[in-house]
Amino acid sequence: MLNFHAKDIHNALGTDRKTWFKFVNSMIAVAVVTAIFDISDRHHNNVLLTPDNTICLIDLSASLGKKAPMDKSLDINPVYLPKRFLDLREYSNVLSEKVWHEPPSDFYAIEHAAMMAYYPLFRDPILKKAMEAVSYKMLKPHKFLALLHERKSTRQSKEGLRNDIVKAMDNSESFHKFVAGITSIVPMN
């Protein structure tokens, strides 16, 4: 699971430009997919860094238009682009200048790439028809861009609160007993 800080992710990625490019593209893909399909319940334990250094969403049980209760009550931004990923720009910009001999990137480059991925999906007639069949409406591109731009702020206090709550639940023996009790009573499937 991707329960790491920016420095740990930086160490895992190393200095290879192609590795970073692949990681950043997967980060943008996750931001787009979480917004298009309204995938909620994204916290540190629900994201995986794969062996090929891409990001993968895991544990989609509270997703696909069904907001996780904590995300709903905290009014969490549906575009998944956490602070620790934004903090990676410090590392990648140093690599850009000193190792790759390129100008550093800014948040606009991320927004541009995300919009270039989002807009064709939003306009795709097959995807649109499939989404309408289940009474789901994708965010309009300008709304997606506004939510993405909101992610530029690295404060993300609501997400921090949610991640702290999830971490406390994961580390709580009484919570595990509670879940075990509920799952023994409630039939599965």
Q: What is the CATH number of the domain that holds 15?
A: 1.10.1070
Convert the pLDDT of each residue in 121-164 to its tens digit. 999 999 999 989 988 888 999 999 998 888 776 566 777 676 67
Q: Does the structure show a pLDDT above 60 at 14?
A: yes
Domain count for the chain = 1
Residues paired with residue 57 on neighbouring β-strands, in sequence order: 47
- Residue 30: CB partners within 8 Å, gap ≥ 6? 47, 55, 57, 80, 81
d(CA 65, CA 133): 13
- Residue 68: CB partners within 8 Å, gap ≥ 6? 40, 41, 62
For range 103-115, the mean pLDDT: 84
- Asked whether residue 166 is domain-assigned, the answer is no
- Asked whether residue 74 is domain-assigned, the answer is yes
**Mean pLDDT rounded to a whole number for the chain:** 78
- Asked whether residue 82 is domain-assigned, the answer is yes
The mean-pLDDT minimum among 114-118, 131-135, 170-174 falls in: 170-174
Q: Which domain holds residue 135?
A: 6-155
- Residue 78: CB partners within 8 Å, gap ≥ 6? 34, 35, 38, 39, 40, 139, 147
d(CA 133, CA 135): 6
* Highest mean pLDDT out of 57-61, 112-116, 169-173, 180-184: 112-116
Residues paired with residue 56 on neighbouring β-strands, in sequence order: 48
Q: Does the structure show a pLDDT above 60 at 3?
A: no
Convert the pLDDT of each residue in 50-78 to its tens digit. 888 888 877 666 555 566 666 677 777 77
With residue 172 as reference, give the H or E element that holds it: none
- Asked whether residue 27 is domain-assigned, the answer is yes
- Asked whether residue 181 is domain-assigned, the answer is no
Phi/psi of residue 89, each to 5°?
-60, -35
Tell me, what's the pLDDT at 156?
Answer: 67
Tell me, what's the pLDDT at 154?
Answer: 59
Tell me, what's the pLDDT at 189?
Answer: 41
Tell me, what's the pLDDT at 54?
Answer: 84
Give DSSP secondary structure letters for 92-155. HHHHHHHTS--PPP-HHHHHHHHHHHHHHHHH-HHHHHHHHHTT--PPPHHHHHHHHHHTT-S-
d(CA 38, CA 63): 7
- Asked whether residue 182 is domain-assigned, the answer is no
Query: In 3D, which of 28, 26, 136, 24 has the Cα closest to residue 88?
Result: 24
